[in-house]
Structure 1
Amino acid sequence: MTAFLRRMHGDRGAASTQLVLVVPALLLIALLVVQFALVWHARHIAQYAAQRALAAARTKDGSAAEGQTQARRSLAALGSRVLTTPSVTAERTATQTTVRVDGTVLRVLPVPGLVLHASGTASGPTERITTPTGDQP
């Protein structure tokens, strides 16, 4: 009986020690999952804003400034908390329009120096009126 009691005293506090070691690791893993889900979501927001801006900027009467305005509206409606410090660049030529939306992702993990970025790019032909060339029937 005394050997049994000695064995029982040797395991005292083992569950508390295991809990102290395992719970922080599980919390870190959960926060990493949330952080990278936010990165994924921010990339989709940036891509959506770039596509909306392209639709506004590439029209016949559109401009790069109108594309930037549309991108900022889309970002304000969807991602002002997830995609912080966004920047929008729009370039429009006679044949091609390109919009790029960049930003920094909201940080969940308090890791110094951890800065995650998300961006979206949309490009397409600029709408213009053309006349057919060649012989017409």
Structure 2
Amino acid sequence: MTVIASLRLPDPVDLIPSRRFPERRRLLERARDDCGAVTTEIVLVLPLLFTLVLVIGQVTVWAHATHMAQATASHALSATRVEDGTAQSGRSDAQQVLDQLGHGPLRGAHISVTRDVESASVRVEGTATSVVPFLHLPVHAEAAGPVEKFHLADQAAP
């Protein structure tokens, strides 16, 4: 056991002559007092850093799901507001768009389409896929517009 103790390297503070470099000696002595400070900093900072990365990922997934919902609503509105369009044709078009885009970030999509004589509207609701545990962000998109009507040239308004 004494052999191992004698193989220890000397302390760097003892190697610096105190007369020639007193500032370095004080810095090394002060640095020796910070033993374990890095471990404490890592224990406090890393969970915050990981949480920040997860929140950024969650916002990205939510934004993508919102974009998917808006694209679906826009396509469904186009199919609904044409002259011979129906609410059912808009709903089937919306489902077809969702199938083409895949069901990645948009979960539980619910599509509601309404059409009357003057206007048509589409609403897509769902939730974004959860990256942060127990956080389920809602996603909704709406699109509305007038129903297309074609008039003969002699009946056109001035």
TM-score, normalization: structure 2? 0.74
1:117 equivalent to 2:138? Answer yes
Cα offset, 1:58, TM superposition: 1.0
Larger radius of gyration: 2
With a CA cutoff of 8 Å and minimum separation of 6, indicate the structure with the bigger relative contact order: 1
Which of residues 120, 123, 126 in structure 2 aligns to 1:100? 123
Contact 1:45/1:79 (<8 A) preserved = no
Contact 1:35/1:109 (<8 A) preserved = yes
Moved more, 83-92 or 38-47: 38-47
User: Which consecutive unaligned segments of at least 5 residues does structure 1 have?
Assistant: none
1:70 equivalent to 2:109? Answer no
Cα offset, 1:39, TM superposition: 1.4
Structure 1's consecutive aligned runs of 4 or more residues displaced over 3 angstroms after TM superposition are 1-10
Which of residues 36, 43, 46 in structure 2 aligns to 1:13? 36
TM-score, normalization: structure 1? 0.84
Cα offset, 1:130, TM superposition: 3.4
- Equivalence map 1:24-35=2 (5 Å): 24-35=47-58
User: Which consecutive unaligned segments of at least 5 residues does structure 2 have?
Assistant: 1-12, 15-24
Aligned residues: 133
Distance in 1 of aligned mates of 2:81 and 2:156: 24
Cα offset, 1:115, TM superposition: 2.4
Moved more, 29-38 or 1-10: 1-10
Q: Deviations over 1:6-51 (max 9, x none)?
A: 7555322221221111111001011111111211111111111000
